Amino acid sequence: MSRIKVSKKLEEAVRVILEEVGEDPQREGLLDTPYRVAKMLQHELLTGYQVDIDELINNAIFEEDYDEMVIVRDIDFYSMCEHHLIPFFGVVHVAYIPDGRIIGLSKIPRIVDAFARRLQVQERLTTQIANTLWEKLKPKGVAVVIEAIHLCSVMRGVKKPRNKMVTSAMLGVFREDIRTRNEFMNHIVRKPTFLD
């Protein structure tokens, strides 16, 4: 079986990192590590750079006479902090109120992944998801809340293992109407999970 093609420059960069931290890239356990890390970054963790949002949506926006809140909650995500190249992960809750147009259910988690699989900060990730739905659907409102654990504050720095970050973006009626915002927030309250 042939290997998936990866960037030789990326492979070499991993090899240099191994050497610089005092490891021997030629020892048995590390022989394929530069290839594996390059493959993981190019073909899994950072694939969001290759995603075209319009192609991802693929015309899955439909005319529909529905004007109540639509929520997709507890969307698991994994991303990489752009400051330390360490993962952060958690859940995304997304809501929108249609104005004659709805989007296919699977497209919302795919939009989350498209932006999460890039070097990120949680604040930007939150607004990218919200702004994309606002622009593509032209709804009455969009709300996004992200709850995440950042390994850069667990494994290093302050070393607080239960430290969670919560960010939100509220557009349209979610920003203007506290009752609408509260309805959304009440829907995403849940029993404790592994993040709590």
Known active-site residue 176: no
Catalytic residue among 11, 122, 128, 147: 122
Chain CA centroid to CA 79, Å = 5
Known active-site residue 42: no
Known active-site residue 83: yes
Known active-site residue 84: yes
Catalytic residue among 23, 152, 183, 187: 152
- Tokens found for residue 91: 């859940």
Three-state DSSP string of 10-33: HHHHHHHHHHHCCCCCCCHHHCCH
Contact call for residues 101 and 62 (beta carbons, < 8 A): yes
Known active-site residue 81: yes
Please state, in angstroms and rounded to a whole number, the distance separating the CA atoms of residues 45 and 59: 26
Pairing of strands 101-103, 87-97: unpaired
Catalytic residue among 23, 84, 183, 187: 84
Catalytic residue among 44, 50, 64, 83: 83
3-class DSSP state of 167: strand
Known active-site residue 120: no
Pairing of strands 119-120, 70-81: parallel
Catalytic residue among 81, 93, 120, 147: 81
Catalytic residue among 82, 123, 135, 176: 82
Known active-site residue 122: yes
Contact call for residues 33 and 59 (beta carbons, < 8 A): no
**Catalytic residues, which ones?**
81-84, 122, 150, 152
